[in-house]
A and B are shown apart, each in its own frame.
Chain A
Amino acid sequence: MIMTHHRRLYCLVAASITLYTTPTFSQEQHAQAEAGAAIYDDYCSRCHGEALHNTSGGVTFDLRRLRPTEHERFVNSVLNGKKDMPPWRGVLKPDQIEEVWAYIRATVDRQP
């Protein structure tokens, strides 16, 4: 049996469509999450795991653990670095950081 992350991507797309049709997830949020996924791939995935699937056992932070209320803490850690993570201030723009946040929220909040 071949397992693929595509299966999850399909789930993600399906879930996005569902959310897109609900009043809580706007088209704008959907676009923001998609842009965030691309930034995540380029800047974050090499330490935090492909498609947010962190199996490092705590070596790096599992971003799926971020609660919806922790936006400020997230932005602060990205800008200034945390533990072994470098500061991304001056590299990632504020709207890009918001896009990554939208990607995390779109992925996590729809989990059953």
Chain B
Amino acid sequence: MLRASLLALIGVALPLTAFGQTADDLKNDAKTPGDVLTYGMGYSGQRYSELSSINRDNVKRLVPAWAYSMADNRGLEAQPLVKDGVIYITDHEKTVAIDALSGKEIWKNVIEYPPETTRIVCCGIVNRGAAMYDGKLYRTTLDANVIALDLKTGKEVWRTKSSDPSEGYSMTVAPLVADGVVIAGVSGAEFGVRGYLEGFDAQTGKSLWRTYTIPAQGEPGYDSWPANSTRAGGSTWVTGTYDPELNLVYWGVGNPAPWNPILRKGDNLNTNSVLALRPKTGEVVWKYQMSPNDPFDYDGVNEWIIADLKDASGNPRKVVMQGNRNGFLYVIDRTNGKLIAANKFVDVNWADKVDLTTGRPVWSAQTKDIIEHGGKARIFPSVTGGKNWAPMAFDPTRGLVYVNAIEMGMDYETLPADKIANLKPGDPFFGVKFPLVFDPEKRGSLKAINPLTGEVKWQVPFKTPNFAGTLVTAGGLVITGQMTGEVMAFDADTGKLMWEFQTPSSINGSPITWEKDGKQYITVNSGIGGVYAMHVEDPRLTHVPAGGTVWTFKLFEEFPQRSASSN
């Protein structure tokens, strides 16, 4: 009887594990270069690969293995996933599975959403990727649904409507599966949402918990907003990371709304913060706020990279790190939320520094003035941030982060209070002007930075800032790309450009690397879109064509003999 049920269990379990991933597979993702199962190439989000067969000596032989058309003129911002020789990619309207070696499509699942949805999408009609667990692929939709697809067939297994675009909510985030729970966040701080994170049952899609980022009456932090204010913002649109040992998920929270701060004096908790949560319940164990009472859209959603570092006294520290929109690079103790370091990584004039004892920014005179009365000032960095959402990478062997920094300012000005007095969810929540100011010779740089000291080991300037993620490998290469379409490989020690390739559009996603049968490959999307391409004037982008493609590169070898079956 016992044996029979055991056999039955094995019988059920085997087909699942053949195509699926267990919680252990996800935990070990960074150690298994044959696949990429998680956003960030490992739960720590380091985007570091131990693969080294493509390296500084041979990278000049890197050539395309194949390219695949996404048949989409919207931006491609997703990070691909790889499992058992199949690559999975999302855009705003579809999910595709591609044979990793041949580039042939295996399945495609097309999503429909109402045309009104894009009214409340501020910063690009995009999707940032999927999560994988237990034979399923999980993704969000622009109209704020979370769906699960069968990994093998692409058929929809479940669909859960999380919220509604008519109230300003949308979803572009790649979900995170932690401790068996599918966690997703929302976009919409520019349209007056009350942000939240939500956990879903991986098998059924049932909502297990929802944790709002802005406290309700009676909850701690409620009085950090004026009594009659809108209490809006705090979106959660960039994927968090997970420390299985501490069983904590780290997730960044976005800006308060409206951007104009004059009717919301106070810290506006928990906007522009990081939350450390229990994945099973959504319980917040600790939190830390980077930009209290923010007037400048210094959205705190960027990546939270998990690493173990030695601090200035040589003590080992468990940390999370973020290159924040506000121009500071934060290093925080991930066991308790205490600030360890916060160094400027671009020009910053909204704050003089971050006080390491209190953890609070020391506002400059012009910021104090704007928060007190409104007004105008030239502020660095701009609303685009010292860095936008595209994730930086961390090389644990060199102890450096590789950041695509954005170096622009703005002539910020608050509009009169009546412009923001009667806003309701779904309306545009701005109330400010912010024309950008920049040096036409340099709007951004790729920088290698010591996160504890802020020391810049090397930097490479760009006329157009990069909005691509970075990837660093044991082959001593930093891989990233330009808005003008070039995929690039830099020497991780010196910043010397070692290789580049012109793709047809623009690199706005996060490159990955993986191996199959002992050979290393690099996969990246090309497809112009996103906030900079659409909103910011940049003559260098006028001749960058739209059109999404997926590219996979390998070291050059003799022309492959095709087998009969592939003809």
Contacts and interface: CB of A to CB of B under 8 A. Distances in A.
> Does A pair with B?
yes
Interface string A33-61: 00000100111011111110111111110
A65 to B, nearest CB: 13
A73 interface: no
A57 B544 contact: yes
A58 B440 CA distance: 22
Interface in B429-450: 430, 433, 435-441
A87 B537 contact: no
A57 B428 CA distance: 26
> Which among A54, A59, A84, A91 has the greatest number of chain B C-beta atoms within 10 A?
A59
Contacts of A91: 119
A47 B75 CA distance: 12
A47 B428 contact: no
Interface in A50-85: 50-51, 53-60, 81, 84-85
A47 to B, nearest CB: 5
Contact of A84 (B125, B436, B438, B538): B125
A3 B437 CA distance: 6
A88 B120 CA distance: 11
Contacts of B544: 57
B435 A51 contact: yes
B546 A59 contact: yes
Interface in A84-101: 84-88, 91
B435 A6 contact: yes
B117 interface: yes
Given A5-B435, A6-B435, A49 B119 contact: no
Interface string A1-36: 111111001000000000000000000000000000
B109 to A, nearest CB: 20
A55 B437 CA distance: 16
Interface residues of B, number: 41
Interface stretch (B29-37, B454-462, B526-534): B526-534
Contacts of A46: 122-123, 531, 534-535
Given A4-B411, A42-B428, A46-B534, A57 B542 contact: yes
Nearest to B117: A86
Contact of B74 (A5, A54, A81, A84): A84
A6 B411 contact: yes
A79 B319 CA distance: 51
Nearest to A5: B435
Nearest to B114: A86
A44 to B, nearest CB: 10
A81 B441 CA distance: 37
Nearest to A90: B116
Nearest to A54: B537
A110 B396 CA distance: 57
B147 interface: no
A47 B428 CA distance: 14
B437 A42 contact: no
B207 interface: no
A55 B439 contact: no
B541 interface: yes
B560 interface: no
A110 to B, nearest CB: 18
B3 interface: no
B115 interface: yes
B460 to A, nearest CB: 21
Contacts of A86: 115-119
Contact of A45 (B118, B535, B538): B535
A47 B538 CA distance: 14
> Which among B409, B441, B533, B534 has the greatest number of chain A C-beta atoms within 10 A?
B534
B440 A49 contact: no
Contact of A56 (B411, B440, B533): B533
A9 B117 contact: no
Interface in B515-567: 528-529, 531, 533-546
Contact of B539 (A42, A55, A60): A55
Interface in B64-123: 73-74, 115-119, 122-123
A43 B538 CA distance: 20
A76 to B, nearest CB: 15
Contact of A3 (B428, B438, B531): B438
A46 B123 CA distance: 7
Contacts of A42: 428, 430
A46 to B, nearest CB: 5
B440 A3 contact: yes
Nearest to B432: A41
A41 B440 contact: no
> Which among A4, A51, A53, A60 has the greatest number of chain B C-beta atoms within 10 A?
A4
A5 B434 CA distance: 10
Contacts of A49: 534-537
Contacts of A4: 411, 435-437
> Which among A48, A57, A81, A85 has the greatest number of chain B C-beta atoms within 10 A?
A57
Interface string B222-235: 00000000000000
A50 B535 contact: yes
A100 to B, nearest CB: 14
Given A46-B535, A55-B537, A5 B430 contact: no
Contact of A87 (B116, B411, B439, B536): B116
Given A4-B437, A51-B537, 16 more contacts: A1-B440, A3-B440, A4-B411, A5-B411, A5-B435, A6-B435, A38-B415, A42-B428, A47-B535, A50-B435, A50-B535, A57-B528, A57-B541, A57-B542, A84-B73, A87-B116
19 contacts: A1-B440, A2-B437, A2-B439, A3-B437, A5-B537, A6-B411, A6-B437, A9-B435, A38-B419, A41-B433, A49-B537, A50-B435, A51-B537, A56-B542, A57-B541, A59-B73, A59-B546, A60-B534, A84-B74
Interface of B: 73-74, 115-119, 122-123, 125, 409, 411, 415, 419, 428, 430, 433, 435-441, 528-529, 531, 533-546
The 6 closest A-B pairs by CB, nearest first: A5-B435, A53-B537, A42-B428, A86-B118, A4-B437, A59-B546
